[in-house]
Structure 1
Amino acid sequence: MASYKPEDEYDYLFKLVLIGDSGVGKSNLLSRFTKNEFNLESKSTIGVEFATKSLTIDGKVIKAQIWDTAGQERYRAITSAYYRGAIGALLVYDVTRLATFGNAARWLRELRDHTDPSIVVMLIGNKSDLRHLVAVSTEDAKAFAERESLYFMETSALDATNVEKAFTEVLSQIYRVVSRRAVEAGGVGASSNIPSRGETLNVREDASLLNRIGCCSN
């Protein structure tokens, strides 16, 4: 008799949040990553939406639960509750709109006010396909990422440039923290440091590990 494997079987569940101003392309980044779709008529997200996608890292099935938070000011009080439990975040700005990059520091403060200090954060400069309209230089964005110890990548949800790579990098870094914790624990008790199948991970104990990983990824 053939063995049955549930479609939704996974080893780890990581909660990620997408944050940033309205109109920077958060929803299209999510749909490009999870469904390989892009909608030119995409409307502003109302409140919070989420989608999931599973991928394999080092032989382990990682299920990403990605929350798309509305960028409009009037929803911020609602969405702040959804930061809770997030262990990864993509902070998105629009490379063609300087104001969205200027607001990144405020979004980062809010994120850090509502999450554990060890959260893995990547700064995303979206709409990189609009090269003739670029208002935020790659150098300025890298400098901000380095100051704040963030990973950094420029993406295009429209043509899919670096979208898969950005999400995968964040998930890989979170998984790396978990793996290092198990290795550093060592000995017989090492397995007790690895969460059970399907457990939502909290990397609270691993802030020092994150600090030892390079801050930026091009």
Structure 2
Amino acid sequence: MGNRAEEDYNFVFKVVLIGESGVGKTNLLSRFTRNEFKQDSRTTIGVEFSTRTVTLGTAAIKAQIWDTAGLERYRAITSAYYRGAVGALLVFDLTKHQTYAVAERWLKELYDHAEATIVVMLVGNKSDLQQAREVPTEEARMFAENNGLLFLETSALDSTNVELAFQMVLKEILTKVSKQRQSSSRTNAITLGGAQAGQEQGPGEKRACCISL
């Protein structure tokens, strides 16, 4: 096989993290991609991203997870941030109801800038702080169901459901790509939400979906 470590994936999926500042987006990112948690993590400035390759069935998926500040002054980067994304995690802090109350606003912004086919999961983070909970699980679950979203509660601190959250989103994206691929079997490129998505690699070449920045 030779040294093909860098080419050893079939798809690249861009997934964005959205939600208010302080809900734990950066620690979800670092927990999933590097298995790290920083108790005193600072507010994200602008945009950053990390990658991790995971195997789903027979497909190797390179997940490119983007994290942005939830602060108003960084909103100018919005369009570029969402471009090419095929998945999103809308994160709120389940100990701060205000971060959940604005979920609808974040959804509107997402759908204003991303494609309608994007896979979205509502994530209630900080489930390790049950004694300080302000958002009932069933209330958030109902909101997710009414808006066609996946839903999960996580803890970046103790790792609860972090792996599962990203895996569920990536699996749903792969399912959409696979269905489109089957219906477009006569072409090499598959279009998912207007971005070239799910181009399968040939020997010695890398093709990626959803990298528009």
Same structural fold, with TM-score higher than 0.5 when normalized by the shorter chain = yes
Equivalent residue for 1:156? 155
1:62-114 CA distances to partner (integer Å, 9 max, x unpaired)? 00111101111111122442111111000000000000000111011001000
| SS at 1:66 equivalent | strand
Taking the aligned partners of 1:24 and 1:8, their CA distance within structure 2 comes to 34
| SS at 1:200 equivalent | coil
Equivalent residue for 1:21? 20
Equivalent residue for 2:194? none
Offset at residue 40 of structure 1 (A) = 0.3
Offset at residue 4 of structure 1 (A) = 2.2
Equivalent residue for 1:200? 209
Offset at residue 58 of structure 1 (A) = 1.6
Equivalent residue for 2:139? 140
Mapped contact 1:80–1:114 kept (Cα < 8 A): yes
| SS at 1:28 equivalent | helix
Equivalent residue for 1:122? 121
Taking the aligned partners of 1:3 and 1:113, their CA distance within structure 2 comes to 44
Equivalent residue for 2:106? 107
Distance 1:77 1:159, change over 3 A: same
Taking the aligned partners of 1:28 and 1:201, their CA distance within structure 2 comes to 23
| SS at 2:6 equivalent | coil
Taking the aligned partners of 1:42 and 1:192, their CA distance within structure 2 comes to 40
Taking the aligned partners of 1:65 and 1:173, their CA distance within structure 2 comes to 15
Taking the aligned partners of 1:163 and 1:92, their CA distance within structure 2 comes to 12
Q: How many residues of Structure 1 are paired with residues of Structure 2 in the alignment? A: 199
1:159-202 CA distances to partner (integer Å, 9 max, x unpaired)? 0000000001100100011112233456xx37665623222159
Equivalent residue for 1:4? 3
Percent of aligned pairs sharing the same letter: 55
- Unaligned 5+ segments in structure 2 are 191-197, 202-206
Taking the aligned partners of 1:111 and 1:192, their CA distance within structure 2 comes to 25
Name the TM-score, length of structure 2 as normaliser: 0.88
Equivalent residue for 1:74? 73
| SS at 1:52 equivalent | strand
| SS at 1:54 equivalent | strand
**RMSD of equivalent CA atoms:** 1.7
Offset at residue 8 of structure 1 (A) = 4.7
Mapped contact 1:47–1:79 kept (Cα < 8 A): no
- Unaligned 5+ segments in structure 1 are 203-218
